[in-house]
Amino acid sequence: MILGSGSIVAQLTDERLIDEYQLVVNPIVLGQGRTLFAGLRERLPLELTSTRTFTNGNVLLCYQPA
């Protein structure tokens, strides 16, 4: 599990070492911010495997590389 480190995620993704991505979407518009996967060398197609909606409006999205 990696929490909050986009650069480590990008490095591990480039090497195809991550078998599942779990992203929590918090429905707040900030207008700015960092890209989660900045620095990837190539696109990585993902397949949605499951979702979960929480009572506070957050949504958990689970993906595996396609």
pLDDT, tens digit, for every residue of 17-29?
A: 999 999 999 988 8
CA 22 to chain centroid: 6
Output the pLDDT for position 32. 84
pLDDT at residue number 55: 97
* Per-residue confidence (pLDDT) for residue 4, from 0 to 100: 66
Name the average pLDDT for the chain. 88
Identify the pLDDT of residue 13. 87
Q: Which two tokens stand for residue 33?
A: 């911010």
Q: Is the dihedral of CA 11, 13, 16, 20 positive or negative?
A: positive
- Residues of the chain predicted below pLDDT 50: none
